[in-house]
Amino acid sequence: MKQGKFEAARKKPKPPKVPETPAEQKAASEAEVTAAAPGAEPRRRRDWLLIAVPIIVVLAVAAIVLLCLRQNQAERSAPVGMTKEETLEHFRQLAETLEQSDMVLTLKPDDPAGGEPYVFTLTPTQSMVRVDLAGLEADLEEGVGKVARGRYDADPAAYISLDRAALHSLVKQAAEACNQPFLESFSGVVGTGGQQEQKMLVLNPGQRGRAISEEAIYFSLLSAYCRGSLAPRLNYQTRLPKALDAEELWLRYCTAPTDAVMNSKTFEITPEVLGYGVPRQQLTEALARLEEGKALVLPMGELLPEVTAQALEEALYADVLGEAHTPHSWVDDRTHNLMLACEAINGKVVMPGEIFSFNEAVGERTAAKGYREATAYVSGASVPEIGGGVCQVASSIYYAVLQADLYTVERHAHTYLVTYVPKGMDAAIYWGALDYKFENSSPYPIKIEADVSDGEVHVILRGTEWKDYTVKLSWKQLEEVPYETKTRVVTDGSYKDGDVIVSPYTGYTITTYKTLIDRDDNPIETVKIKTSVYSKRDRVVAVVPKNEPEPQPTETP
């Protein structure tokens, strides 16, 4: 037998030659040493790896590409190449599906916020869809659609018939229902005109734009019939108007009101500033009610702040710290003077640490200011005086101050005891000589309210309660000095016999006290306020002497 080129490799190897001469032995020894030299064999291995690795990588990539190409080819050719029997069975199933099931078309937005899906149905009766199985079978016999030996690829569109008018009607209905022109959102202010013009804020949310072509719907339906998939879904294009933002609208069209504020140190109140526009809450609720494409009109007007100066003032003066309601008899001129004095101090605010002076607040009582003559005590006598009677207003303030437990700077008792306040709790004033003063020793402002009504002088001290206790007032009589009745001979006819020339007053020495009561109604302590001495005034009665008749002369007989 003739040997091939690969047969020589199979011969039995010859035994190695044994060196005989010393020269041969030396050469053999050097060859062994060279072969055993370190690094010779690994170098040959590295050279081999540098050549083999790239080849392996290239082969692996080529294999992957080949597999992908075969897979793609298999996918493209999947529906092609059925046998004649498979093709006929496929078309029989297609005919059964098309002729017994409804075509259900769904149009949905390409943006979830673009709107709701639209669903349209076309029944087999309406579409009159049919599959020409006989024509298909005849074509297969003639080799129509043959792609390979015994393999066919029949086009369903060639054998499906339907009512094109019904299909076009569905397409038109779907397009008209879905398509909608785009309108951008709008906002603005308009006026009603006229002398009393009313401004209105107009809000229009705009309208979503929706668009899909009849051609796209039509060919989607045809494709669905050919595939036997009777639930086609198409996306229509959407365009959304810019959403109206409540905060942005507020900043653009409305002016926010400014709350009144109070300085925590000076207690000065900066009044509020009215705003203009639509209340924020109303605007937010209106935006929630907007309907697509429909405008909403909101009336604009003044916007009230949450905090007004009146509210701050009412909160600052919410507590009654002390009050007095002292009775007075109706004497026209005296009552008139009481009213003028109350008007002068009504609404007066006393700041923390400030000293209130009755004479400074009311001023000199003069006829030019409208004051009239009424009884007053002058040098122990009751005489008509311009502004007489206003001591009752000062006494009412003092009585309220005692209840509020404020510090009294100056106070004078009357010469004689008065009856419109409890004993020892009056205050006498006289322009240029006597004044009543108290200090606002509380940490908050105090407002004085004063008026005359219903037979009483009313004084109320309003502020912010800072105490954890209340005050109970009391008095103790230390001495009583009764008046005496004296007579005065009157011969000028100014009084009748027995008339009272001077009204009497009993003298008293009175000490006043305040008892502090805690919140549980338990007494804390009792403190002396003041000892007041009231003079007595004797009662003087007029005595008119009786005239004796002159003796008549007798005639001499």
**Helix, strand, or coil (residue 2):** coil
Task: Compute φ and ψ for 124, nearest 5 degrees.
Answer: -60, -35
Question: Is 399 within 8 Å of 425 (Cβ atoms)?
Answer: yes
Which pLDDT value is given to residue 74? 45
Check: CB of residue 541 under 8 Å from CB of residue 487.
Answer: yes
Question: H or E segment at 34?
Answer: helix 22-35
Q: Dump the DSSP string for 111-140.
A: SGGG---EEEEE-HHHHT-EE-HHHHHHHH
- What are φ and ψ of residue 159, in 5° steps? -120, 0
- For every one of its 557 residues, what pLDDT tens digit does the chain have, with 9 covering 90 and above? 333 333 333 344 444 444 444 445 444 444 443 434 444 454 555 555 566 656 765 676 566 656 655 555 544 444 457 999 999 999 999 999 999 999 999 999 998 887 889 999 999 999 999 999 999 999 999 999 888 888 999 999 999 999 999 999 999 999 999 999 999 999 999 987 767 778 999 999 999 999 999 999 999 999 999 999 999 999 999 999 999 999 999 999 999 999 999 998 889 899 999 999 999 999 999 999 999 999 999 999 999 999 999 999 899 999 999 999 999 988 999 999 999 999 999 999 999 999 999 999 999 999 999 999 998 888 778 889 999 999 999 999 999 999 999 999 999 999 999 999 999 999 999 999 999 999 999 999 999 999 999 999 999 999 999 999 999 999 999 999 999 999 999 999 899 999 999 999 999 999 999 999 999 999 999 999 999 999 999 999 999 998 765 566 655 54
Token pair recorded at residue 99: 């002729």
Chain length of the chain = 557
Token digits for 56?
């392996």
What's the Cα-to-Cα distance from 473 to each of 139, 408, 419, 466, 476, rounded to whole Å?
Answer: 125, 15, 16, 19, 11
CA distance 258 to 152: 85
Answer for the pair 180, 293: CB distance below 8 angstroms, yes or no: no
End-to-end, the C-alpha distance of the chain in Å comes to 234
pLDDT of residue 77: 40
Q: How far is CA 447 from CA 95, 408, 426, 482, in A?
A: 98, 16, 21, 41
Residue 552: per-residue pLDDT: 60
Which tokens sit at 275?
């705003």
Are 396 and 402 contacting, i.e. CB atoms less than 8 angstroms apart? no
Which residue(s) pair with 140 in the sheet?
Answer: none
CATH code at 468-547 = 2.20.230
Q: What is the pLDDT of residue 281?
A: 93
The two structure tokens encoding residue 222 = 């045809």
* Nearest alpha carbon to residue 457 among 354, 374, 369, 335: 335
What the block records as the tokens of 327 is 């009775």
Distances (CA, A) of 556 to 522, 550, 553: 98, 19, 9
The domain spans of the chain are 84-183+210-238, 246-311, 317-465, 468-547
